[in-house]
Amino acid sequence: MAALNRRVLQAGERIRVLVVDDSAVIRHLVTQGLAQDPAIEVVGTASNGAIALERIPQLSPDLLTLDVEMPEMDGLEMLWHVRRDYPHLRVIMFSTLTERCAAVTLEALSRGADDYVTKASNQGSLDRSMARLKDELIPKIKQFFLMPEPGRPAFRPEISPAPAYAPSAQPMRLTSKLQPRTLVIGVSTGGPAALSTVLPALPAGFPLPVLVVQHMPPLFTRLLADRLHSACRLAVKEASQLEPVAAGKILIAPGDFHMRVDGKDGGIHVYLDQSPPQNSCRPAVDALFTSIGEVYGGAAIAVILTGMGQDGLHGTRVLKAQGASVLAQDEASSVVWGMPGAVVNAGLADRVLPLEQMVSEILRIAV
């Protein structure tokens, strides 16, 4: 499914949300939590997908929060109808931290869901659950919209990107770059679908080790690695402590751990730690990229794909200063152009590419 650009809200306009969940407690919690933000309006609720589909044309929501498990019509079945009939409607999946729900959520993301949140469990109080909901869900809702500044009309900011890819253009020759020894990828919102496009396209003989930071919690990263392994010509696995970094495999940072590389003791290995989050993320792209600079210097290809926020900007700046090649996904093919947009607007990207052109440029630089 093609990525959607952020919709520009007009002054006084609010984001219209339909909450779809079979739990009355969750519906109440989400409704009350979102009602505290003046930019968001909960226009309705539904206890299953069938009811929700009836209410969409009546309520005209901008976004759904959609439970994975529901009676009569579950989230995955409803998502199929939504993507067929309402392609511009944003969808955030709600998932519990169980293997089955995590697997279904990854399937939903591959079928066009825009993002997900995990349901609060054992939070101890309603107030704590509400605070967690506001911290996680509200930013994920707002990432899909351009909010007008108070007292100013809404506008879409002018962006001055690095030269965008054009099919007729000659490839940029990066003659000043070092011969790369590793490929590192940072990605967040929209990442599972983006990685499912990029990583399976890497050939079996790809000469560089590949390290990936995808913003996801524990369990999700392992299931993502398993899912990608079945689709790729290179071995894919969730990284483990002291894992050797070598060509022929793709390592995914495990949820809740920063993944770094260490070049001591005659080889390069993965080092995992639970030091404080960076950019509110653990794993963080910046943690990996800065360690890549310490071990490989500029002998790296750094790729920033779709994602919310600016994680990876600092690490990309470190690598760029040492001579690394930097590729960023373009806005049109990104679900959210936060992470790649930050790199582009900082003037760090050598190429700004649609997702489907990313691997051909990686291969041109790598071999």
List, by residue number, the catalytic residues: 188, 215, 311
Cα dihedral 103, 243, 251, 360 in deg (nearest 10): -160
Pairwise CA distance, residues 109 & 365, whole Å: 30
> In 3-state terms, the chain is what percent helix, strand and coil (to 5)?
35, 20, 45
Sign of the alpha-carbon dihedral angle for 21, 26, 32, 33: negative
Question: What tokens does 98 get?
Answer: 């169980």
Contact 10, 148 (CB under 8 A): yes
Pairwise CA distance, residues 30 & 47, whole Å: 13
Q: Give the amino acid at 101.
A: C
Pairwise CA distance, residues 75 & 356, whole Å: 28
Contact 304, 352 (CB under 8 A): no
Residue from 122, 135, 120 nearest 28 by CA: 120
First to last CA, the chain: 31
Contact 67, 42 (CB under 8 A): no
- Beta-carbon contacts of 184 under 8 Å, excluding residues fewer than 6 positions away, are 210, 211, 212, 213, 288, 289, 292, 300, 301, 302, 303
To the nearest 10 degrees (0 to 180), the angle between helices 99-110 and 220-229 is: 60
Q: Strand 145-146 to strand 351-353: parallel, antiparallel, or no bridges (unpaired)?
A: unpaired
